Amino acid sequence: MTTTDRMPAPDDEPLDPRLARLARELPRDIAPPADLWPAVRGRLAPRRRQWWREPWLQVAAALVAVAAITLAVTRHGGETPAPVAAAGATALDSVPGVEALAPETAAALRRNLAIIDSALAESRRVLAADPGNPDVETMLRLVERQRLELLRQVGRLPRS
């Protein structure tokens, strides 16, 4: 940590010594109220080339391959290409509790997941060609967030 320049300039409003001491002594380390690691972990894309070794990425890898061949969902959110929809099914099946959902609910979740994964593949593809593009990074985070929230939502749905 760099040292503080504590010599006040002539136009500085000096801080009351009592307040200055309090400010310096404020705790600089505060444990977050909840463990944020799972949420962070869910948003980390692999950094090394052999990503196929990561277990959960095997699903994502399948989706990227499929989406690269089958173009992304049309902009008007219509038909989801069958291979992408099928891949979405695989990812959802690994979430505990999915088998207890009403079939119509599970089918709707699969459709939504397929839409998200298609957008995710599209974002990753563009980011790979144009790394460090903040617009694309923001979009990637949006879709990753949506994916995480969808999988979490499964746990909150009533079981039949």
Taking the CA atoms of the chain, what radius of gyration do you get in angstroms? 23
Find, among 49, 72, 57, 54, the residue nearest to 121 by Cα: 72
Should residue 19 be labelled a site residue for another protein when binding is judged by CB under 8 A?
A: yes
What amino acid is encoded at 31 in this protein? A
Cα separations in angstroms, 16 against 12, 19, 20, 23, 28: 12, 5, 6, 10, 21
User: Of these, 86, 89, 95, 157, which contacts another protein (CB under 8 A)?
Assistant: 157
Should residue 89 be labelled a site residue for another protein when binding is judged by CB under 8 A?
A: no
The stretch near another protein (CB under 8 A) out of 60-68, 86-94, 152-160 is 152-160
Shortest Å, Cβ 27 to another protein: 6
Should residue 79 be labelled a site residue for another protein when binding is judged by CB under 8 A?
A: no
Q: Which of residues 121-140 bind another protein (CB under 8 A)?
A: 122-123, 126, 130, 132-139
Cα–Cα–Cα angle for 126, 148, 92, rounded to 5 degrees = 95
Should residue 45 be labelled a site residue for another protein when binding is judged by CB under 8 A?
A: yes
Site size with another protein, rule: CB under 8 A:
78
